[in-house]
């Protein structure tokens, strides 16, 4: 066992310039992360200098068997916390051999919006609160819950400590440090209201990089749960009934919102989001209707409402923002399984580009 871990931890730089690049992409379900590795002559961290690659799209539900090749284009790189040394994680998006973005390439559409000069000028910041649930491997029941039964009711678990209240902290902390190692702007972690549920936050991150960073943070988390023998779930309501669901609150600001008079800009942006409520809800994650019930710190999926410090609203404005007359707001509607490329770019499009 120890010789095996010695070998896994070998420092390649002692004998070679060569480097391992782990290419990551999103599979056909839209939530399945896939990856495979290749050897490079040396470390290459500029995504534009990395080679394109390909994969078998018929094995991920993204291409027919008779024409199965899908092309990977590197978009962002991160120091690899698993292999360390000169090795990188590489976030990619996917194209047909003719160079057309494949149907599930949401990053391409998002980048078009973020590259629009009006959006670019507003320096959009996003802070995404990713909630998730850890499950016991064989029974797929939350970590720390008695198999075939339930823990005591919610109350003591949120930000709780102690062996009967906090389940999986080592995984959470390993992930926190691994993300910082990788250069991800992870801003914090906390235990959630439902036992076995946790949250990490990525941000503030600018434009498309919020999506890249959140996807790589999810990737790192699932790799760590794999090591720990625990199953990771992004289901927005993993346990029906009187248990909190899992969301991905998206905090957002533009340059004009962050400068004096920004509160007026924020209110106009929120009005526009209200006018497009249905369209946003349709893009904010699968199964979100099980979570947005109007209970457990959510607004009902059918109603749009906003408020200062209101955790039962669709959009919450913080007390600080109201007091300072500038700042940011929180879209509380996105589900834990949302695609951050879709959600961030849609918020930017509705609030900056769209004229009702
Ligand atoms: P909550 O109080 O809802 O639990 P969190 O503290 O979990 O909020 O997350 C808030 C997120 O918003 C953090 O990632 C933080 O970095 C981010 N954030 C802070 N300021 C801004 C801003 N001006 N624009 C966008 N995001 C911001
Ligand atoms: Mn939070
Ligand atoms: Mn939370
Ligand atoms: Mn929040």
pLDDT values of the chain reduced to their tens digit, one per residue, 356 residues: 699 999 999 999 999 999 999 999 999 999 999 999 999 999 999 999 999 999 999 999 998 888 889 999 999 999 999 999 999 999 999 999 999 999 999 999 999 999 999 999 999 999 999 999 999 999 999 999 999 999 999 999 999 999 999 999 999 999 999 999 999 999 999 999 999 999 999 999 999 999 999 999 999 999 999 999 999 999 999 999 999 999 999 999 999 999 999 999 999 999 999 999 999 999 999 999 999 999 989 999 999 999 999 999 999 999 999 999 999 999 999 999 999 999 999 999 999 999 99
Q: What is the pLDDT at residue 63?
A: 87
- Does 142 sit in the ligand 1 pocket, CB within 6 Å? no
- Does 157 sit in the ligand 1 pocket, CB within 6 Å? no
Which ligand does the CA of 334 lie closest to?
A: 4
Among 204, 325, 332, which is best to mutate for testing ligand 1, by the most ligand atoms less than 8 A from CB?
Answer: 204
Atom 13 of ligand 1, residue of closest alpha carbon: 127
Host H or E run for residue 233: strand 230-233
Residue 343: phi and psi, rounded to 5, are: -65, -50
What is the rounded CA–CA span in Å between residue 86 and residue 74? Answer: 17
CA distances from 43 to 13, 74, 86, 136, 209 (A): 11, 14, 6, 37, 21
- Does 249 sit in the ligand 1 pocket, CB within 6 Å? yes
Could you tell me the distance, in angstroms and rounded to a whole number, from the CA of residue 338 to the centre of ligand 3?
15
Host H or E run for residue 215: helix 208-228
| Domains of the chain with CATH codes | 16-103 (3.10.20.70), 117-353 (3.30.590.10)
Residue 232: phi and psi, rounded to 5, are: -95, 130
- Which ligand 1 atom is nearest residue 316's CA? 3
Could you tell me the distance, in angstroms and rounded to a whole number, from the CA of residue 201 to the centre of ligand 4?
9
CA distances from 272 to 27, 154, 347 (A): 32, 35, 10
Q: In what order do the strands lie in the sheet with 33-40?
A: 33-40, 19-26, 88-95, 69-79, 53-56
- Which ligand 1 atom is nearest residue 202's CA? 14
Give the SS3 label for residue 155. Answer: coil
What is the rounded CA–CA span in Å between residue 89 and residue 77? Answer: 6
Cβ–Cβ contacts within 10 Å for residue 218, how many? 23
pTM for the structure as a whole: 0.98
The alpha carbon dihedral of 253, 257, 263, 267 has a sign of negative
Q: What angle do CA 36, 37, 42 make, to 5 degrees?
A: 155
What is the rounded CA–CA span in Å between residue 221 and residue 132? Answer: 10
- Does 167 sit in the ligand 1 pocket, CB within 6 Å? no
């Amino acid at each position: 066992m120890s010789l095996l871990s010695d070998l896994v931890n070998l420092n390649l730089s002692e004998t070679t310039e060569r480097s391992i690049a782990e290419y990551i992409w999103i599979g056909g379900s839209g939530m399945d992360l896939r990856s495979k590795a290749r050897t490079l002559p040396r470390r290459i961290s500029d995504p534009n200098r990395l080679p394109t690659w390909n994969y078998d799209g018929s094995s991920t539900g993204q291409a027919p068997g008779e024409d199965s090749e899908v092309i990977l284009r590197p978009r962002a790189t991160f120091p690899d916390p698993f292999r360390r040394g000169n090795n990188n994680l590489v976030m990619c998006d996917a194209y047909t051999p003719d160079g057309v973005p494949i149907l599930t390439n949401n990053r391409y559409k998002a980048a078009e919006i973020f590259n629009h000069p009006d959006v670019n000028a507003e320096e959009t910041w996003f802070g995404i609160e990713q909630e998730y649930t850890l499950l016991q491997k064989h029974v797929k029941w939350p970590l720390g819950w008695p198999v075939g039964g339930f823990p005591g009711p919610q109350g003591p678990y949120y930000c709780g400590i102690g062996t009967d209240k906090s389940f999986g902290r080592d995984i959470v902390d390993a992930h926190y440090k691994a993300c910082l190692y990788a250069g991800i702007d992870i801003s914090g972690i906390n235990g959630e209201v439902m036992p076995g549920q946790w949250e990490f936050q990525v941000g503030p991150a600018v434009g498309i990089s919020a999506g890249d960073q959140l996807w790589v943070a999810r990737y790192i988390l699932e790799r760590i749960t794999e090591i720990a023998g625990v199953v990771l779930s992004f289901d927005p309501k993993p346990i029906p009934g009187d248990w909190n669901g899992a969301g991905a609150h998206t905090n957002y600001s533009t340059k004009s919102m962050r400068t004096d008079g920004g509160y007026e800009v924020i209110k106009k942006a929120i009005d526009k989001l209200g006018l497009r409520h249905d369209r946003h809800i349709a893009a904010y994650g699968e199964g979100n209707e099980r979570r947005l019930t109007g209970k457990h710190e959510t607004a009902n999926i059918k109603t749009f409402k906003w408020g200062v410090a209101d955790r039962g609203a669709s959009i919450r404005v913080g007390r600080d923002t109201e007091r300072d007359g500038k700042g940011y707001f929180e879209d509380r509607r996105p589900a834990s399984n949302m695609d951050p490329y879709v959600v961030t770019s849609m918020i930017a499009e509705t609030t900056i580009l769209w004229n009702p």
